[in-house]
Amino acid sequence: MKIQLSDHFGYTRLIRFTIPSIVMMIFTSIYGMVDGYFVSNCVGKTEFAALNLIWPFPMILGAIGFMIGSGGTALISKTLGEGDKARANGLFSMLVYFALGIGIILDIIGMSVMRPVARLLGASGEMLEFAVAYGNIIMAFMPTFMLQVSFQSFMIAAEKPTLGLIVTLVSGFTNIILDWMLIGVLGYGLEAAAIATVASQIVGSVWPLIYFSVRNSSLLRLGRAIIDFKALAKTCTNGISELISNLAVSLMSMVYNLQLIRICGEDGVAAFGVIMYVAILYLAVYFGYTMGVMPVIAYHYGAGNKKELHNLKRRSLILLSCAAIVLTSAAILMSGWIARIFTGYDEALCKMSERAFALYSVGFLGSWFNVFASSFFTALNDGKTSGIISFSRMFGFQLIAVLLLPLILGLDGVWLAMPAAELCSAIVSATFLIRNKKVYGY
């Protein structure tokens, strides 16, 4: 039975509707891990460190795509809830064209400054050349990345989460197969990993672009755009938390790497790379769920259905808290096994990675609450509150923690910075949820 945004959602229907986006985010994380696995085990430690060092830079520029996708989905879903399908389609078309145009501009900017940015991040000698080569290939296809991440959200608003999952699976397998062939079988280097990544982005962007350009069975179709700068500004405001989150992941990765180079050198950067690959996989469950439920919340907000808003908030908190307990326990118990997958070739690095991931994983107990609270206010088209939660979590508290805790705890302070930041941010998130419950009626 088809599930619609206008339905009443019990636990079963919530899980069924959000499972495709959860699996989609998990799979996206897995094929990112595959890049790291093949580079680390088949190419070399220096190349692996170079990849992790430069990767945050294109992601900083690409974060605008997440802002357009999440902020636009909230606005489009609210418009659908208000019963104006024609306007929703015009807004959808405007945002897709906007994402493509911004991607082209960022492509040009990114490639022109790749080398000085790599130097600024601490790369030198052989690592510098590897980082620049990899980064330029990724940056050359920034428009496809922008479209891919935007469509991941738009397909849920179009009531096509399963199609979004299928597109992600196919693009992911494209990445994995090319990694295996180019690196594992043919023995090519770091550039091959970049080629595999951009090939998957092409699949993940062109397929939805074609689907929405022709007559289809979804709520949305790509056509004549509405030129509405107020709506564009609202999209950016709605999606500011997702922009902040993705910017912060990249910027904070740079701060972490600089701290680690200072404390323990190249091995620290490699160990942090292991954490990032696997942490993103775990967090994908939280992000996937919120990506799936956000259009539903926005729809019922637009329709003025306050009873369903309360229902969605309450059930979501229960589901995500249960998931957090399971995921955090599994992460801590599996830390040694995870470290060996990526760094088993180097005993000292493996031990460092194991301890690092076990300490870092404690933060998963709090991150689910902050991720949901931020996305909840995005869905309510309250970008200001959502942005404050994201900023305090990803920039404010975490920056303070990663700079101060190492002075007290040494290397362990770096790994514990994220858990400390999540705990402080949870207090901020709870405060906003309590203060605004009468404003929005949830």
**Is 321's pLDDT higher than 90?**
yes
Once rounded to an integer, what is the mean pLDDT over residues 9-24? 87
CA atoms of 84 and 70, how far apart (whole Å)? 19
Q: Give the percent of the chain with pLDDT over 70.
A: 99
Mean pLDDT over each residue of the chain, to the nearest integer: 85
Does this model's pTM top 0.85? My answer is no
pLDDT tens sequence across 212-271: 999 888 888 888 888 889 888 888 887 777 777 777 776 777 788 888 888 887 777 778
1 pLDDT band, cuts 50/70/90, is low
Q: How far apart are the first and last CA of the chain?
A: 28
**Is 179's pLDDT higher than 60?**
yes
- pLDDT, residue 5, reads 80
CB burial of 198-233 (b: ≥16 within 10 Å; e: otherwise) equals: bbbbbbbbebbbebbeeeeeebbbbeebbeeeebbe
Residue whose structure tokens are 């999540």 = 422
pLDDT tens sequence across 277-317: 778 777 888 988 998 898 889 889 888 889 999 999 999 99
Is the torsion defined by CA of 340, 344, 347, 349 positive or negative? negative
- pLDDT, residue 32, reads 64
- pLDDT, residue 31, reads 67
CA atoms of 396 and 388, how far apart (whole Å)? 10
pLDDT tens sequence across 120-173: 877 777 778 888 888 889 888 999 999 998 898 898 888 888 888 899 889 888
Among 23-37, 195-209, 229-243, which is the least confidently predicted range? 23-37
pLDDT tens sequence across 327-358: 889 888 888 887 887 777 777 788 888 888 88
pLDDT tens sequence across 95-104: 999 999 999 9
